[in-house]
Every structure is written in structure tokens, then in C-alpha cells.
Amino acid sequence: MANKASKPTMSRALQRREDVAGYLFMLPSLIFFLGFVVIPMFICIGYSLTDATMHQKAATAFVGFSNFGKLLGDEVFLEALKNTFIIVIVSVPAVAAFSLWVSSAIYKLKGPVLSAFRCIFYLPVVTGSVAVTVVWKWMFDNYTGIINTVLSGAGLIEKNINFLGDSRYALWCIILILFTTSVGQPIVLYVSALGNVDQSLVEAAQVDGATNFQVFWKIKWPQMMPTTLYILVITTINSFQCFALIQLLTQGGSGTNTVMYYIYYTAFKLTEQAGHFGYANAMGVVLAVFIAILSAVQFKLAKEK
Amino acid sequence: MKRSKLMALLLAGSMLLGLAACGGGGTTTPAPEGSKAAEPAQSQAAEPSTAESITLWTYPIGNWGKEAEVKAMTDAFTAETGIKVTVEYLAYADGDDKVNSALSAGNAPDLIMEGPERLVANWGANGHMVPLNDLVDDTDKKEINAAAMAACTNTDGSIYEYPLVMTAHCMAVNLDAFKAAGADQYLDLKTHTWTTENFFKAVDALYAHFGQTVGAVYCAGQGGDQGTRALVNNLYGGTFTNAEHTAYTWDDPKNVQALEKLRDTKGIEFDASLAGGDEIAKFYQGALKMAFCWNIAQQLDPNAAGTGSGKTVTGEEIAFMAFPSEDGNSKLQGGIWGFGIFDNGNEAKIAAAKQFIKYMCDSEHTADAVKTANYFAVRNTAEGNDLSNIWADNPIMAEYNVLMPLLGDYYQVTTNWAQARTSWWTMLQKVGEGADVSEMVAQYAKEAIGG
């Protein structure tokens, strides 16, 4: 009896020790997460309700939701929002579909060949975004770029195309570059997910006469759903936050302004409204809400599936 | 179970928002009370400081953007005063962003080197700079070019920039290409001026000869925008602001005429992929046959490439020219550069920064500081040292002097200047895309004044 009574007490102590150990392990990353993500997030929300600017001498005034109201009438913001959505809507499905296709084609290859493909597709991810962007800038150059040289050399164009200086092309060039820098990680993840598909289920389905498409759709695809969900969420967030490409290639001109760039522009560029932190933070909150909604929808759909 | 689910949802939500919002959140440091009422001009030497070190951020103003050149001067200053100077070199592409970020974070440099449009009209007017009136006595006022001094003075009388050098911005042509196309006949290489009519004849001749873009009305951003403004304003005699610098006048029909003519000219392209620095690079590489973003520093060292004065990368000859105008008498955009002090609340550092300014701008060392910038001194003498002949040994500088009488109004201190610059290049992009010129000019001129 005595043993029975003391057993739960020991277990609780052990549990507590494990909990403490667990929290201690978490502590370093938790400090960074709180310090650099959660707290700034609340500061961001707080500032979005004020008229804080870089030049503010007096205490910042609380303005309620007026910054959000102004956003609705800000044509530049609305255009940036539209461009951002175009990037997301085009980029996310394209990245997911292309990575799945490439992964399906390469995951059964032998070790070194598979590694080579992984390296090729992952190279733009590990290469610095500035280096990648500068190379693309050279290629798209209006005067000496290789793309114009090839097109005019082949007789396909009479006059050079100003890829990054013409609003008919600039946003699509941005999407193309974003695509090349985004597919690396999904391909690696999909290759891994496809490799982990339970082969006994695949073989059983094949024995039952399932076609390749049926095997993929009924057996492999459901098992890859967590990977797909992760890829969709991460690609969506990255696409919403497209900034470096815009900053380095077009500075928001030629119809390529995005919400992230406009936030930066409003907060730090030398304009009359320079350092308009309240307004910039309001944009940040709106962007975050859109990302959260879209991600929640993706979670919901994936769960239903 | 429900509670843990709720917790998980909250955590997931906060992580998502965190991921999404990590670009936000800036802290605002109240700006220092820098805009004290301007004190009456008193002759006063900079007081020796107890500060051991100061920081200087400099934009690439001639060789003030090159560490080797600047270090020699700051080392000499340190040897004489014991004050160490840490220099950070800014680029025009993101220098403003860095300064604004530093101001927001409360760690602005002690000293900054740039022009009045930033130091006076923006940071000074917004209370971030220390008035330098006590450094400018009556003798200094007599010695310093009056227009430059006026540009460095805020409307409340506070001097937020101590000017060092000035120049007239101009354009440049690839003389070998002009000769090849037979377009050199349109240039007056003695006065370095030409007429609007001859300019367009030259563009047509070059386009007929080379079959590609001759000159680019660059508009990717505000970098080098003085060139596009001067080109448009001079072609038919338009203006950018009124003489009082209280209003923008670029909706002038003469500017509309100039923009329409430029857009309709085959050899000219409104290029939203280039800013001023990119245009210089394209000209230097020979892709463009004329550059609208030019000045004496470029003539001395094209594209800052160190490949020889007045030559493209392939050795073709570059001739500097005034912007074309109907009568050949154009009004060139001035450039003024000097030092300002950010008010970081540290009196010792402010005193040390003032010592630095005095050393560079008004002493026997001023000639070196001016020559490092590759521009002309804003004053004829500094503490009795003659500066009027410091470029006598340089034939290019001597030749460039022919443009200095064409120096026009320094209007970059007009209210809302930063917005006006943004509105200008955005307007050029729209015009280049085929929008109605009159409508765009009216819309963006209105935006510039905050309409």
C-alpha cells in the first residue's frame, strides 16, 4: 500500500524535473523569440495606433484606428497591396507545383545524381539574395543584358526590352526571380517526403490495379500533406514579404511596389513623411493579418483534405 | 483539452503574426531639441573639446568617399587636436535610410557631410541638427559665396551646414561618338554650350548612326535627379520652383513642351531601370552617348573608376557640356556640400565636431579638404589662405570654370523638397510609359506641394 501511495508522488517529481529541463532547453530560443518577435509585434500593434514619427518631439499621440482608415484611401498602398497579392497568387501555386513535379522526377534517382539535382536547385537559396539579384539585374539589363542580346540576336525583338523599367514586365521579372530563389527548399522537402512514403501501401495499391495517378493521388499525396502545408505557408509568407528584390531592382518603381517595400519606404526613406512609424506599423499589422488569414485558410483546407 | 487547444491556437497565431510582422516595430526616440533660436553671428573660434573621438558619416562627395584620401586628412586632424575621427562611408542609394535609421535609434553620427537639401531642409528643419551660427563670423560671411551661405541657412536663420565646396552640375557627351555621327558640329566646345535645336539635331544624328538609345532620362529613383530637372527646365526655359522657393512651378507649359519633345525623340528613352549612378556607368561603358548626370568630379574621374580623366572605359573622349537651352545660355543646377552636426546631446562631442569643421572649412587645411572633394571652394580665402587658385595646376578644372557663371538658383531648399524629388521621378516614369504629359505634370507638381 505504501508503495502504491508513493508512486504518483515520485512520478510528479520526475515530471516536474523533466518539465523544468524542457523549459530550460527552450529558454535561449524563447528569449530570442520573445525579444525579437513577440514583443516587437506588440510594439508594432501599439505604434500603429499612434502618429509616431521620427521627428516627434512630444509624446506620441494616440490616434486610434485613423492610420488604418488612411490606408483605405492611400492609392500607393492599395497598388502595393494589389501587387503583393499578384505575387502571392502567382508565386505560391507555381512554386508548390514546380517543386512537386521536379521532386517526383528526381526522388528515385541514385544518390550522387539526386544530390547533384538537390544542389542545383538549392544553390539560389544558399546564395546571398544580393548576389542573385545583381546577376539577374545584369541579365535583364536594357542595354547590355544577355536576355536582350539573345532575343535581338535571334531576331525576336527589334528594340531592346526594358524588363525592369517597364511596368508591363517588371513585376513578372520580380516573380520569376522570386520563383527561382523559392523552389530550392520545397524541392528538398518534397524529395524527402516522397522518400518517406510507405512503400507497402504503394505496392498494395499497385497489386490492386491502381494507376500511377491513382497511386499518387490516393496514397502519396495524403502522406505528403503536412509537407505541402508547410511549403504553402512558408512560401506564402515569403511572397508576402518580398522586399530585397524590389529594393535592389526597382525601388518600388515600374509598378512593382509591394506592401513590405512601402512599409520600409514610409519608415526610413528621406521623404517629408520620413519615419512615419505609426503609419508604417499600421501597414505591417494589415499585412500580418492578411498572412494570418491566408495561412489559417491553408491549415483549414489541409485539415479537411 | 479545450484549454490546451486554445493555448496551441494562440501560440500558433502569435507565431504566424510574429513571422509576418517582424518587419515592423520601430522605437521612436524623441528628437533632440536642436532647433534653438539662431544666435546672432559672433566671431568665435571653435572651442577645444574634451571629447576624445567623434564619428563622421560622409556621402561620396568626390574623393570624400574614398577611405585612403579621407584617412590622410582625419589622421592629420587627430595629430593636431588629439580627437580621433571614425568615418563611415555612405552611398547615395541607401545613405539616407541609414541616417534616418540611426536618428530613430538615437545613435546618429556626430558629423555628416552632404548638401543643404538634406542637412538644412530636412534634418535641420526637423530639429536634428546643431546650429552653426557661432562658427560663422562677419569675415566668413564675406568670404563664403553668398548663395551657398543662403542655401545653408534655414528659414529661421539657423545655419545647419558649414559649406566647403560647390560646383555646377552639367551633362557630358561622348565626343568620339559625336564625331563618328557627324554631330560634333552642334557642339560649341569653346563655351561648352549648345542650343536646344542643336541638341535634338545631334540626338537624331547619333540615333541615325548608331541605331540605339543615345541618352536616357533616368528615373528609377531620386539619385542624380538634378540632371533630369536641369535638362527639362533648360530646353525651353521652364522653372522648377519660384524665385522665393515657396512653390513648385514645374507644371510650367515650357516643361510640358520639353517632356513631350523628349518623349517623342527616338534617341531619348525614359528609363525607369536607371538612376543617376547607373546612367553614368552606361555612359562610361559607351552604351549611352550622352550623360545628364555629370559634374567636374566625374570629368576628373569618370565613374570613379580611376581610368583617366575625361575618358570612357574604352578611351573615348568625354566633353562636358552645359544643358541645351534655346539661346545657349542655360541655368545650371548648383551643388553645395559641407558639414553639419547632429545634436546628440553631448556638448563635448559637439565642440569636437565644431573643431573638425573649423579645421576642414576655415583654416590652412581647407585647400586639401576642397581638393579632396574635386570641386571648387565656396570661399576665396580661409583664415588668410588664398583658395582662388588652388586648381591653377589642373587644366580640366580651369576649363570647367567656364560653366561656373551659368550657375543657377539653388532651389533644393524649397519646402517639401524630399517629397518633390519623389514626385519628380515618379512623374517621369509615368510620362515614359505614355501617360498624358500635362496631366502627369499637374498631378505630381500638386503632390509635391502636399496637395
Q: Which of A196, A301, A201, A250 is nearest to A87 (CA)?
A: A250
Contact state of B219 with A253 under an 8 Å Cβ cutoff: yes
Residues of chain A neighbouring B97 (CB-CB closer than 8 A): 264, 268-270
**How far does Cα B31 stand from its chain's mean position?**
25
Report CA torsion sign: B155, B156, B159, B161.
negative
Residues of chain A neighbouring B272 (CB-CB closer than 8 A): 162, 164-167, 170, 250, 253-254
Direct distance between the N- and C-terminal alpha carbons of chain B, in angstroms, rounded to an integer: 57
Residues of chain A neighbouring B14 (CB-CB closer than 8 A): 38, 41
Parse chain B into domains and list their residue ranges: 53-167+335-406, 170-331+416-448
Angle at the Cα of B317 (from B315 to B321), degrees rounded to 5?
Answer: 145
Structural domains of chain A, with CATH: 70-304 (1.10.3720.10)
Among all chains, which residue has been given the C-alpha cell 515592423? B24
Contact state of A237 with B23 under an 8 Å Cβ cutoff: no
Taking CA–CA distances from A59, the nearest residue in chain B reads: B30
| pTM assigned to the model | 0.81
Contact state of B272 with A288 under an 8 Å Cβ cutoff: no
B258's grid cell: 520639353
Which of B22, B220, B221 is closest, CB to CB, to A40?
B22
| Contacts of residue B78, Cβ cutoff 8 Å, sequence gap at least 6 | B84, B85
What is the structure's pLDDT at A122? 83
Which region among A113-117, A169-173, A185-189 has the lowest average model confidence (pLDDT)?
A113-117
- Decide if pLDDT at A284 tops 90: yes
Among all chains, which residue has been given the C-alpha cell 571652394? B377
B293's grid cell: 548626370
Q: What is the helix (H) or strand (E) element at residue A125, kind and residue range?
A: helix A111-126
What is the structure's pLDDT at A303? 72
- Distance (Å, whole) CA B339 – CA B73: 15
Residues of chain A neighbouring B22 (CB-CB closer than 8 A): 36-37, 40-41
Question: Strand B290-294 and strand B268-271: pairing?
Answer: unpaired
Which of A60, A241, A269 is closest, CB to CB, to B23?
A241
**How far does Cα A83 stand from its chain's mean position?**
15
What is the structure's pLDDT at B363? 94
**How far does Cα A10 stand from its chain's mean position?**
47
| Contacts of residue A277, Cβ cutoff 8 Å, sequence gap at least 6 | A47, A50, A52, A53, A54, A267, B26, B28, B104
- Distance (Å, whole) CA B233 – CA B245: 16
Report CA torsion sign: B10, B16, B20, B24.
positive
Contact state of B96 with A270 under an 8 Å Cβ cutoff: yes
Which region among A203-207, A266-270, A272-276, B365-369 has the lowest average model confidence (pLDDT)?
A272-276
Q: What is the mean pLDDT of residues A274-283?
A: 86
Which of A57, A165, A269 is closest, CB to CB, to B97?
A269
- Distance (Å, whole) CA B289 – CA B312: 10
Residues of chain B neighbouring A57 (CB-CB closer than 8 A): 30-31, 33, 127
**B264-310 residue pLDDT tens:** 999 999 999 999 999 999 999 999 999 999 999 899 999 988 888 99
Asked if A114 and A107 count as a contact pair (C-beta separation under 8 A), the reply is yes
Which region among A140-154, A277-291, B37-51, B165-179 has the lowest average model confidence (pLDDT)?
B37-51
Report CA torsion sign: B123, B125, B131, B136.
positive
What is the structure's pLDDT at B388? 86
- Distance (Å, whole) CA B87 – CA B374: 19
Residues of chain A neighbouring B433 (CB-CB closer than 8 A): 166-167
Residues of chain B neighbouring A167 (CB-CB closer than 8 A): 272, 429, 433
Among all chains, which residue has been given the C-alpha cell 494562440? B10
Identify how many contiguous H helices and E strands chain A contains and give both numbers: 16, 0
Asked if B60 and B91 count as a contact pair (C-beta separation under 8 A), the reply is yes
Position A244: which residue type?
A
- Distance (Å, whole) CA A121 – CA A182: 9
Which of B18, B96, B271 is closest, CB to CB, to A38?
B18
> Does B69 lie at the interface with A, CB-CB under 8 angstroms?
no
- Decide if pLDDT at A5 tops 80: no
Contact state of B100 with A38 under an 8 Å Cβ cutoff: no
**A30-40 residue pLDDT tens:** 999 999 999 99
What is the structure's pLDDT at B18? 46
Q: Which of B411, B247, B423, B232 is nearest to B335 (CA)?
A: B411
What is the structure's pLDDT at B269? 95
Between residues 192 and 231 of chain B, which touch chain A (CB distance below 8 Å)? 212-213, 219-221
Asked if B113 and B88 count as a contact pair (C-beta separation under 8 A), the reply is no
Biggest CA pair distance of chain A: 95
- Distance (Å, whole) CA A125 – CA A106: 19
Give B416→chain A minimum CA distance, Å: 6
- Distance (Å, whole) CA B206 – CA B200: 10
Contact state of A270 with B285 under an 8 Å Cβ cutoff: no
Radius of gyration of chain B (CA): 24
| Contacts of residue A116, Cβ cutoff 8 Å, sequence gap at least 6 | none
Q: What is the mean pLDDT of residues A201-211?
A: 90
Contact state of A280 with B24 under an 8 Å Cβ cutoff: yes
**A44-76 residue pLDDT tens:** 999 999 988 877 755 578 888 999 999 999 989
Residues of chain B neighbouring A275 (CB-CB closer than 8 A): 28, 100, 103-104
B170-331+416-448 matches B53-167+335-406 in CATH topology: yes
Taking CA–CA distances from A40, the nearest residue in chain B reads: B25
B71's grid cell: 584617412
Q: Going residue by residue through chain B (451 aa), what tens digit of pLDDT does each one get?
A: 455 555 445 444 544 444 444 333 333 333 333 333 334 334 455 666 677 899 999 999 988 989 999 999 999 999 999 999 999 999 887 888 899 889 888 889 999 999 998 999 889 988 899 999 999 999 999 999 998 999 999 989 999 999 999 999 999 999 999 999 999 999 999 999 999 999 999 999 999 999 999 999 999 988 899 999 999 999 999 999 988 888 899 999 999 999 999 999 999 999 999 999 999 999 999 999 999 999 998 999 999 888 889 999 999 999 999 999 999 889 999 899 999 999 999 999 999 999 999 999 999 999 999 999 989 999 999 998 999 889 888 999 889 989 988 988 888 888 888 889 889 999 999 999 999 999 999 999 888 876 5
B11's grid cell: 501560440
Contact state of A37 with B122 under an 8 Å Cβ cutoff: no
> Does B425 lie at the interface with A, CB-CB under 8 angstroms?
yes
Angle at the Cα of B75 (from B300 to B109), degrees rounded to 5?
Answer: 85
- The total of other beta-carbon atoms located within 10 Å of residue B268's CB is 23
Query: Where on the phi/psi map is residue B222: left (φ > 0), alpha (ψ -120 to 50), or beta?
Result: alpha
Contact state of B20 with A287 under an 8 Å Cβ cutoff: yes
CATH number, domain B170-331+416-448, options 1.10.1740.10, 3.40.190.10, 3.50.30.60, 3.30.750.80: 3.40.190.10
Report CA torsion sign: B98, B101, B105, B110.
positive
DSSP string, B192-230: TB-BHHHHHHHHHHHHHHH-S--EEEE-SSSTTHHHHHH
What is the structure's pLDDT at B21? 42
Q: What CATH class has B53-167+335-406?
A: alpha beta
DSSP string, A57-88: -SPPPB-TTHHHHHHHH-HHHHHHHHHHHHHH
Contact state of B273 with A250 under an 8 Å Cβ cutoff: yes
Asked if A191 and A108 count as a contact pair (C-beta separation under 8 A), the reply is no
Direct distance between the N- and C-terminal alpha carbons of chain A, in angstroms, rounded to an integer: 51
What is the structure's pLDDT at B450? 64
What is the structure's pLDDT at B234? 96
Q: Which of A170, A40, A267, A151 is nearest to B96 (CA)?
A: A267
